[in-house]
Amino acid sequence: PESLDWFNVLIAQTIAQFRADAQHDDAILTSLTRALNGASRPDFLDEIKVTELSLGEDFPIFSNCRVIPVDDDGIATSAPHGSGRESKRLQARMDVDLSDFITLALETKLLLNYPKPLTAILPVALAVSVVRFSGTLSMSFIPSSSSPAHNTATTMAFSFLDDYRLDFSIRSLVGSRSRLQDVPKIASLVEKRLHDWFDERCVEPRFQEIALPSLWPRKKNTRGGEETPEAAPGASMSRKEAKMAAKEVERGIMAEARREVEREAEEKAERERARQWERDAAEEEELEGMGGAIPHLNRRTPVASCRSRSSNNSYITKVENINNTPSYHINS
């Protein structure tokens, strides 16, 4: 037998999340009320109201798992490995035990239509609780069909052996003034109906099938991360679209490189202008310093000038301003 501690933890977390969702959402209660008041409701019952729904507090315990070979009909086979008959699939059987208090309480009215319609109306309150369940659960995987005519998905089949135990606690209240509480006949009738309902659906040879989704990794099932429109879930690209997308990416890279070159050229020109401005400022400061040594030297004054060579091979520039006052500037 295999240990099922990990399986018990997984089932417990799933049930805990289911209970938490039921507490914060009325969807389960609304769906249950709609199902009870569907087309199958008898004519002698008024509207059925769900007054209490408790999903319990404990969790089922699975243990004693064993794997056995079965045939296509789910019947266990004991053929040895060397025989001609081989099993096509395996079945896991495990014991399950649950002791809890799962309660569903209802209120309705019995409409007595004899000898004439609405002869009497009898209020009825009923609360049904599952207090104990134990049995053997059998699970197996039915592989998908390879035939094109019968293309079916892989399914998981489960059922319970007929030696299960299912105990109920049933409370009833009938009447408006003189009320009858916990009528034994009502309790036995309800319990029998619940056992029949369970036998017709989940007890061998009957079983339930659940179609399993494809576990193969697919792009449309990918979640998380930053997604571009091209990589969004469900998007499929043909070869032509892939080439167009690659060309678009290449054009974007070239445009970005061109903008980078232009940006570097602008920065270089800006640095050159800054250096030229510094040189001009230095020359202006030098001229202003020389203007203190040679009177009336001013670059900003409109002037007329002439040049002559001095004895030390320097040029002496005679400058006349608008006041006809001569001044001199020596250029080496």
Q: Are residue 261 and residue 113 in the same domain, yes or no?
A: no
Grade residue 326 by pLDDT with cuts at 50, 70 and 90: low
Is 43 or 324 the better-scoring residue by pLDDT?
43
CA 86 to chain centre: 42
Any domain includes 91: yes
**Inter-residue contact 121 to 145 (CB < 8 Å):** no
Q: Are residue 101 and residue 157 in the same domain, yes or no?
A: yes
Any domain includes 250: no
**What's the pLDDT at 100?**
92
Cis? peptide before 205, omega within 30° of 0: yes
Other Cβ atoms closer than 10 A to 91:
21
Q: Are residue 207 and residue 135 in the same domain, yes or no?
A: yes
CA 38 to chain centre: 33
Any domain includes 235: no
Domain containing residue 320? 295-332
Report the candidate in 104, 112, 103 with the shortest Cα–Cα distance to residue 46: 112
Q: Are residue 309 and residue 163 in the same domain, yes or no?
A: no
Is 179 or 265 the better-scoring residue by pLDDT?
265
Of 33-42, 158-167, 218-227, the poorest mean pLDDT is in 218-227
Grade residue 37 by pLDDT with cuts at 50, 70 and 90: confident
Q: Are residue 275 and residue 325 in the same domain, yes or no?
A: no
CA 319 to chain centre: 87
Grade residue 14 by pLDDT with cuts at 50, 70 and 90: very high
Any domain includes 119: yes
Helices 5-24 and 27-36 pack at an angle, to 10 degrees, of 80
Is 163 or 299 the better-scoring residue by pLDDT?
163
Grade residue 310 by pLDDT with cuts at 50, 70 and 90: very low
Task: Tell me the pLDDT of the chain averaged across its residues.
Answer: 77
Q: Are residue 203 and residue 269 in the same domain, yes or no?
A: no
Any domain includes 237: no
User: How far is the C-alpha of 66 from the C-alpha of 5, rounded, in Å?
Assistant: 14
Backbone torsions φ then ψ of 331, nearest 5 degrees: -115, 125
Q: How many domains are contained in the chain?
A: 3
Instruction: Say if residue 78's pLDDT is above 90.
Output: no
Is 127 or 31 the better-scoring residue by pLDDT?
127
Q: Are residue 39 and residue 11 in the same domain, yes or no?
A: yes
Cis? peptide before 148, omega within 30° of 0: no
Any domain includes 10: yes
Of 21-30, 81-90, 98-107, the poorest mean pLDDT is in 81-90
Of 162, 189, 214, the last residue of a domain is: 214
**What's the pLDDT at 97?**
96
Whose tokens are 């938490």? That residue is 20
Ordered alpha helix ranges (H), 215-325? 239-293
**What's the pLDDT at 304?**
45
**What's the pLDDT at 227?**
53
Of 11-20, 50-59, 281-290, the poorest mean pLDDT is in 281-290
Q: Are residue 180 and residue 315 in the same domain, yes or no?
A: no
CA 249 to chain centre: 30
* Residue 25 vs residues 15, 30, 101: alpha-carbon distances, Å: 15, 9, 21
Report the candidate in 180, 31, 52, 30 with the shortest Cα–Cα distance to residue 110: 180
Q: Are residue 304 and residue 203 in the same domain, yes or no?
A: no
Any domain includes 66: yes
Most confident of 66-75, 107-116, 195-204, 301-310: 195-204
Report the candidate in 57, 180, 166 with the shortest Cα–Cα distance to residue 126: 180
Grade residue 292 by pLDDT with cuts at 50, 70 and 90: low
Of 214, 238, 268, the last residue of a domain is: 214
Any domain includes 204: yes
Of 54-68, 142-156, 196-210, the poorest mean pLDDT is in 142-156
**What's the pLDDT at 239?**
67
Structure tokens at 15: 């049930």
Q: Are residue 13 and residue 139 in the same domain, yes or no?
A: yes
Q: Are residue 164 and residue 280 in the same domain, yes or no?
A: no
User: How far is the C-alpha of 194 from the C-alpha of 196, rounded, in Å?
Assistant: 5
Tell me if the pTM is above 0.75: no
Q: How far apart are the first and last CA of the chain?
A: 110
**What's the pLDDT at 169?**
92
Burial 179-204 (b: 16+ CB within 10 A, else e): eeeeeeebbeeebeeeeeeeeeebbe
**What's the pLDDT at 211?**
85
Q: Are residue 271 and residue 304 in the same domain, yes or no?
A: no
